[in-house]
Amino acid sequence: MMTGLNFNRSVFILFLAFVSLLVTEPTRAQTSGQERDEFSLFEEDVNNSPADAKKTAKPATPAPAPATAPPPPTASTETSDEKIERLKKEIRTGPKNVALIGQLAEELYKKEQYEKVTLLLWKHVDKIDRKSLLLLARAHEKRQEPSEMIRALNVILGKNDKDFESYSLMGNAYVLLRKNKDAMESYKKAVELNPKYEPAYDGLIALYEKRVPPNLYELRILFQDMVENIGARPQYLRRLCEINTMDGTYEPAIQMCKDAIAKDPKVADAYVYLGVCYKAIGEDKTALSTLKKASRDFPQSELAQYHYGKLLEDQKNYVEAMKLYKKGTEADAQAARSWLGLATSSFEIRKFELSLLAYKNACKYDKKNAVAFRRATTILRNQKNSQWVGKFEEASETCTF
């Protein structure tokens, strides 16, 4: 039989159990909220990133349940966004699956979400493979972050110091840092490790072309190496045709131009430089016919119109030269040389209105043309041409280096 004392003790025990339940439930809820996978943290970083700071979340509204669930998208039919969401779900299920992480990074890169790529891959940098590390470096390159590029590439080179692709990308990073000497060394190392790797050659070519004047000797060697190691591609032959022409080595230039035309007869450049070479060695008739053909066959080539016009102007055929220079400006509205040719040829046949307009544009696109502009003004002054000298003087004074 339960006494009053025993009854009170039972009631007290029940009360304590109820209070304990109230205290432990919120604690358990907090603990479960803290148990988040690593991928959830990545999503939080992305959502809090500056790129997404302006986005405000809308309150979710429950959607009515569909009558029949649509079939899940297959790998061949799913959109890029659907693939990204699928990969996220799979990564939550297996957060240590680095292959899935790499696939997600690739999809984000395709959508130009470079910051998300870097956040995701740095979080797993100790586990991802070479392919993902290169993607990480390229994402930083897109974001103009050369120091971060170098950090990512050093991870690869720490594992394999003969990775030519990493050295080439390292060269890109040094170019962004304006450290051309270091960039050149990196590109040369990449070429040394893989003589067939074209991007490293492209980096070196860009550096040599930036010099004033361009280093034609080094450029010639580079393109000769590319022909030897990669193959006699028409674009390499065209560049050797151009470089030899610019450098005044006309005999090898003629051969390279002919080889380039044989490989690809649908590009104007080789015909033009071939005609320039013939003119330089005194074969005027051949030069005239070659440049005329280039001008006729490639009306949209400013290079072809300019050089044929220049040849005719040198022969004092100013009327036809003017027409060709005008075509050159139509092919490329910012071609300073064609504007200058149009200015000088029209000036010779006293079309001063057209000449003034052409001089203004020639100076607009290349301030070095100020010298020719002032020379024309002086001629008008000496001729006491009161109608045009004032207009030429006023315009030429605004054209300064």
Q: What is the pLDDT of residue 135?
A: 97
Cα atoms found within 13 Å of the Cα of residue 178, Cβ hemisphere only: 0
* Lowest-confidence segment of 49-63, 136-150, 155-169, 307-321 by average pLDDT: 49-63
Over 80: is that where the pLDDT of 107 sits?
Answer: yes
Over 90: is that where the pLDDT of 266 sits?
Answer: yes
Q: What is the pLDDT of residues 283-300, one digit of tens each?
A: 999 999 999 999 999 999
Over 60: is that where the pLDDT of 24 sits?
Answer: no
Over 90: is that where the pLDDT of 96 sits?
Answer: no
Over 60: is that where the pLDDT of 63 sits?
Answer: no
Query: Shortest CA distance to 246 belongs to which of 268, 221, 213, 223?
Result: 213
* Beta-carbon count within 10 A of 274 CB: 26
Over 50: is that where the pLDDT of 375 sits?
Answer: yes
**Average pLDDT of the chain?**
87
Q: What average pLDDT score do residues 55-74 get? A: 53
| pLDDT confidence band for 15 (50 / 70 / 90) | low
Q: Rounded to whole angstroms, how far apart are CA atoms 39 and 176?
A: 32
Q: Rounded to whole angstroms, how far apart are CA atoms 373 and 379?
A: 10
Top-confidence residue, 4 or 249: 249
Q: What is the pLDDT of residues 331-373, one digit of tens each?
A: 999 999 999 999 999 999 999 999 999 999 999 999 999 999 9
Q: What is the pLDDT of residue 43?
A: 56
List the chain domain ranges: 78-143
